[in-house]
Amino acid sequence: MLKYYHAWNCVFNGLPRPFWTIIKHFPDVRYAWEKASLSELANKGLRGPYKHAFLQLKKSGKPFADFENFRQHHITPIGLRDTQYPSLLRNMNKHLPPPILYVQGTLPEHHHNVSIVGTRDMSTYGEQVTTHFIKEFSRYDICIVSGLARGIDITAHTQALANNLPTIAILGFGHFHIPYYRKKLTQSIIENGCLVSEYPPHLKAQKYHFPLRNRIIAGLSAVTVIIEAGKKSGARITAQYALDQGREVMAVPGTIYQEKSAGTNALIEHASAQLVSEPSSIIKTLDIPVKKQEAIAFQSKMDKAILTLLEKEPLSHEQIMQQLPINAKTLNTKITELEIEQLIKKNSTGRYYATYSRPSL
C-alpha cells in the first residue's frame, strides 16, 4: 500500500491538499490508482496537470521503480497509518499532515521535540542564545527540530550534534537534492537523528515548499522557540503554524534597534509567544526531569548519596537520616536545594523520591 502513497505523492508533487482530496474519497489508494475510472477520479479533483501526471506516471511505472530503489539510498517511507508515524504530527489541528514522509536516519524515540528556528541572517546575539540554550538542553532527553536553513537553523542542528542531542532536519525538497555544501552536516544528522521530507526524493526545491514545510517543524514539536526573526521571517510562519496547532510558542526578546528582533518582539508584544530568556523556562514548560547521569554528575558527594537512596524508593526525612551520616539541619538544606533543582519531590505520604529520568534505551 505504501508504494501507492508514494505514487500519488508523485502525481501531486508532494502537495498535501490535492492528495488528501483523493484519500478522502478513496481511502484505498491502491484501488484509486489501479481500478478507479478517469471519470471517477476527475469528479474527485483529478484534473488538468494532475490528470496528465497521473496518466504519464501510471504508464511509465516510474514511481514504483523509484520506490524499490529507496532502500539502497537508506530512505524509509512512512505512511500516515504506520505506527512509526509521529503522533504529534498526525494530530495537527487546522493543517494537513503529510500523507507520507521520507526519512533518512531514525526518528528519535523517548525524547521531547523542541523546534528552534529563526532568521537566516543571524546575528552574533542569535548565535550565542542558540548555543547557550542547546548546551543547557543537553542535560535532558530533548530532540532539536529545525529546517536546515543557514543561520539559526544550521546553528541549532550543529549545536545539537556538538552536545550529543538528536536532531531532526525538515527539508523543503527531496532527499536527492541536498546541496553539496550540506552533505557533511546532513550525514552527521542522519547518524544522530534524521532528515525528513514530505516531498518525493527526486523533487527539486520550489519557493512555496519552504512555508509549507514549516507546518511540519511546528507539528513535530511540543514547543517552538523563535530565536531571531524579522517582521516577514519564515520563523513567524512556523510560529503561526504552532499556534494554530495549540502548541507552545516562545520567543527570545532582542534590541528594538535590530530588525532581526522585530519579529520576535512583535510576537511577545501581541501575546502570540511567551517571552523566554532562559532555557529553564522551556524545561519547565515541557515538565521533564534531568537525565539520571547528568543529575548525579553535577551534585556533591552527599547530594549523590541522597539521590541514590531516593532512586531506589521514597523515604521520609527520618529514614534518610537513619541511612546517612547527616544531621537534620544539613539534610533540610540539601533537600531544599534538590527540590529547587527539581531532582526530588515529596509525595502525598511525606516521603521524598528522585524525579530525574533514566537514560533512554
DSSP 285-298: HHT-PPBHHHHHHT
Sequence spans of domains, the chain:
1-69, 103-286, 292-354
Fold of 292-354: Arc Repressor Mutant, subunit A (1.10.10)
326-357 per-position pLDDT tens digit: 888 889 898 998 887 778 888 888 898 888 65
255-289 per-position pLDDT tens digit: 888 888 999 999 999 999 999 999 999 999 998 87
pLDDT at 360 over 50: no
CATH number of 103-286: 3.40.50.450
218-245 per-position pLDDT tens digit: 999 999 999 998 887 888 899 999 999 9
Nearest Cα neighbor of 17 from 29, 7, 9, 5 is 9
What is the reported pLDDT for 120?
Answer: 92
pLDDT at 148 over 50: yes
The whole-angstrom separation of Cα 9 and Cα 223 is 29
CB count, 10 Å around CB of 353? 14
In terms of DSSP bridges, do strands 75-79 and 167-170 run parallel, antiparallel, or are they unpaired? unpaired
The three grid cell numbers given for residue 159, joined into one nine-digit string? 549545536
The whole-angstrom separation of Cα 144 and Cα 224 is 10
169, amino acid identity: A
pLDDT at 86 over 70: yes
35-71 per-position pLDDT tens digit: 999 999 998 889 899 999 999 999 999 999 999 999 9
Mean per-residue pLDDT of the chain: 91
pLDDT at 99 over 50: yes
What is the reported pLDDT for 359?
Answer: 41
191-217 per-position pLDDT tens digit: 999 999 999 999 999 989 999 999 999
pLDDT at 361 over 50: no
Please state the φ and ψ torsions of residue 298, each to the nearest 5 degrees.
-90, 5
Nearest Cα neighbor of 18 from 8, 27, 7 is 8
Please state the φ and ψ torsions of residue 339, each to the nearest 5 degrees.
-70, -40
111 vs 359: which has the higher pLDDT: 111
Q: Which residues contact 100 (CB under 8 A, 6 or more apart)?
A: 2, 5, 6, 9, 77, 78, 79, 80, 198
pLDDT at 296 over 80: no
DSSP alpha helix (H) spans, the chain: 2-11, 16-25, 29-34, 38-43, 48-60, 62-69, 87-90, 124-137, 152-162, 183-191, 209-219, 234-244, 262-269, 279-286, 292-297, 301-312, 317-323, 328-340
Nearest Cα neighbor of 5 from 21, 19, 18 is 19
What is the reported pLDDT for 19?
Answer: 95
152-191 per-position pLDDT tens digit: 999 999 999 999 999 999 999 999 999 999 999 999 999 9
